[in-house]
Chain A
Amino acid sequence: MQMDSRFQVEQDAENRNTYYLNMGPQHPSTHGVLRIRLHLEGETILSAEPIIGYGHRAHEKMAENRDYLQFLPNPSRVDYLAGMIYNIGYCQAIERMLGIEVPERAEYIRIMGNELNRISSHLLWLGTFLMDLGAFTPFLYVFDDREKILDILDRITGSRLTYCYGRFGGVTLDVNDEFLTCVSNFCTYFSDRMKMFEDLVIGNVIFRERSIGVGIFSQDLVNQYAISGPCLRAMGHANDVRKDEPYGIYDRFDFDVPTRTEADCFARSLVRMDEMRQSVRIIQQAVSDIPDGPFIAAKVPKRIRPPEGDYYFCVESPRGSFGMYIVSDGSDIPYRHKLRTPSFSNLSAMPAVMAGTLLADTVAILGSIDIVVPEIDR
C-alpha cells in the first residue's frame, strides 16, 4: 500500500537539517481529527501549521436550509462536550430575538444543566490532558465522576452527550425533587473529590515540570487572536461572558471569575480547576433557590419569524465565548447563521505559541488549550 506522501516525514528541500512532521490527523493527543504540520529542527519546533476541516459537517449550510426549530438538535453536535450549553444558548438566542419570556423555574433548570455540563467538560479535559502527559490513573478517576454527571443529566434529558433539552421558552421536561437531591448530593461529593484531584494532580512533581513555564501566551495575542475562555483568564483577564454580558439569570448568582497571570499550561489548568468549584457554587445556589411553577412558557409562537436584521448572541462555553451570528430576512428560515466557536480562535493562536518549543510540549500546549475539533470544523 502506497501511503499518501502528504502524511509522511518530509525532508526539507531547502535545508538538510530540518524536516516536516505530521502530527495527526489520527494522533490520540489531538483529541479528534486534527492535523498539525510541524517544521522541526531536531526536537525544536520552528513553526506549526494546524490543518483543520477533517470533521466539517456543514452546520452553517444546514442552518440555512431548515427553519429555526429544525436546527435545534444541531448546536449540541457542534461541541459534543458542552452540548447543553450550546443547545440552551441557541434557545436563549431565539428567545431574545422574539422577546419570549422564560418562566423562572426553567431558568434555574437551565443554569443547573449548564453548570453540570461545564463540570463534565472540564473533567474530561482534566483526564485527557493528564493522559497526554503520561498520567493514566486520573483519567479513570475523573471518568467515574463525569459518569455521575452524565447519569444526572440523562435523567432529565434522556441523552448522554448530545442533549436537545432546551425549547424556545423553556425546557422539555420538568425536574423533580429526586433530581434536585441527586444534584445537591453530587455537589457535596464533588467538593471532596476536588480536594483529592488537587492533591493528586496539582501537587504532582511530574505534572508541574511538564506544565509550568510551558506554552506561555504573550499578552499581545489577546487582541491579535481574540482568545477567550480559560486561556484568556490564565493571562490575567477576568473576562467571562456570564459576568460581562450576562444572559439568562447569571447576574443573580454569586460566583467569582478565577484568574491567573502566568499564562502557561499550569495556569490554564488551575483556572479550570477553580472554575469547577465556582460551577459547584452556582449549582448549589440554583438548587436552593429554584421556585415552583411552569417549566415552559405558555405562549410560544408556532412559526418562528424573527424581525429582519442581524443578531449576535454569545454564551460562555467551557472553552470560551461561543457566538451565534444570525441574519433574519423575516422568514422562518435564517438567511445566514454563523457559528463563532472559541476553539477556532484559540487554536489559530497556537502557531504563535509553538515556535521555539519542543516537540514533546506540543501535546501539553494543545491539551491545555482544550480544543474540541468538531467545534473548530463545524
Chain B
Amino acid sequence: MIADKLTSLVQDSTDVEYDARGYNKHHVAPADTLLQVAEVFQSEDFYLEMITCQDRRETDTVFRLVYQFTRLKSPQRHIIHTDIAPDAVPSSIVSLFPSADWYEREIFDMYGISFDGHPDLKRILMDEDYTGYPLLKDFVDPPTPYRSEEDADG
C-alpha cells in the first residue's frame, strides 16, 4: 500500500475532501526525501501529473514545490508540498519521471530554482537571453529595451 510506504518519508499526510478540493491526499515531504517519495509513486504505477511552485518567501521565507501524482486505474490524486529555502537546490526527479524535465525547466524559468541532476536546465517559456523570474511575487517587468529603426531592419 502506498500509504505504508510513504509514512516514513513524509512528515504529514491528510485525506482531503475530494468534492470540494478535487484531489484525494495531501502530503508534506522534506526536500531530502523527495527522490524516495517519487520512487514510491513510481513503484505503485503512478504518473506525474504536474510540478509547480509557490513563492512563499514573504510569509514563510520558503519556496513551496508542489508535486502531483495520479494513476490511470481508479484515479487517486496525491499532492505533495515540499518547502525549500530560497537558495536551496532540490534534487531533480527527471530520472524517475521524464515528464518532470519540462516542469522543472518551467520552475527554473519562472522562479529561478535550480534542480540537482536535471540533464539540461535552461529557460523554456521565456527567451533564452531574458533576465528575471516572472512568477516571483516581487517581480518587476524590465522595460522593453529601445530598438532603433536600424536595429529593427537588422
In the complex, which residues of chain B have a beta carbon less than 8 angstroms from the beta carbon of A327?
Answer: 54
Q: Are A60 and B75 in touch, CB under 8 angstroms?
A: no
Given contacts A60-B135, A311-B22, contact A336 B102 (CB under 8 A): no
Given contacts A1-B154, A378-B125, contact A345 B99 (CB under 8 A): yes
Interface string of A36-73 (1 = CB under 8 A from B): 00000000000000001100101011001000000000
Q: How large is the interface on B (under 10, 10 to 19, 20 to 34, 35 or more residues)?
A: 35 or more
Q: Are B48 and A245 in touch, CB under 8 angstroms?
A: no
Q: Are A340 and B49 in touch, CB under 8 angstroms?
A: yes
In the complex, which residues of chain B have a beta carbon less than 8 angstroms from the beta carbon of A244?
Answer: 75
In the complex, which residues of chain A have a beta carbon less than 8 angstroms from the beta carbon of B50?
Answer: 226, 323, 325, 338, 340
- Is B127 an interface residue when CB atoms closer than 8 A count as contact? yes
Q: How large is the interface on A (under 10, 10 to 19, 20 to 34, 35 or more residues)?
A: 35 or more
Q: Which of A104-112, A217-225, A273-281, A362-370 sits within the interface?
A: A217-225
A213 shortest CB reach to chain B, Å: 24
Complex CA–CA separation, A352 to B127 (angstroms)? 24
Complex CA–CA separation, A223 to B42 (angstroms)? 8
Given contacts A314-B22, A344-B102, A348-B99, contact A224 B72 (CB under 8 A): no
- Is B98 an interface residue when CB atoms closer than 8 A count as contact? yes
Given contacts A223-B45, A327-B54, contact A96 B19 (CB under 8 A): yes
Q: Are B52 and A239 in touch, CB under 8 angstroms?
A: no
Complex CA–CA separation, A280 to B79 (angstroms)? 36
In the complex, which residues of chain B have a beta carbon less than 8 angstroms from the beta carbon of A345?
Answer: 99
Interface residues of A in 322-347 (CB under 8 A from B): 323, 325, 327, 335-336, 338, 340, 344-345
In the complex, which residues of chain B have a beta carbon less than 8 angstroms from the beta carbon of A58?
Answer: 134
- Is A310 an interface residue when CB atoms closer than 8 A count as contact? yes
The residue from A311, A314, A335, A348 contacting B21, defined by CB atoms under 8 A apart: A311
The residue from A61, A224, A340 contacting B47, defined by CB atoms under 8 A apart: A224
- Is A97 an interface residue when CB atoms closer than 8 A count as contact? yes
Interface residues of B in 16-37 (CB under 8 A from A): 19-23, 26
Given contacts A1-B154, A224-B47, contact A53 B127 (CB under 8 A): yes
The residue from B48, B79, B98, B101 contacting A310, defined by CB atoms under 8 A apart: B79
In the complex, which residues of chain A have a beta carbon less than 8 angstroms from the beta carbon of B66?
Answer: 310, 325, 338
Complex CA–CA separation, A345 to B52 (angstroms)? 14
- Is A309 an interface residue when CB atoms closer than 8 A count as contact? yes
Q: Are A53 and B124 in touch, CB under 8 angstroms?
A: yes
The residue from B68, B102, B135 contacting A325, defined by CB atoms under 8 A apart: B68
Q: Are B99 and A226 in touch, CB under 8 angstroms?
A: yes
Q: Are B134 and A61 in touch, CB under 8 angstroms?
A: yes
B107 shortest CB reach to chain A, Å: 10
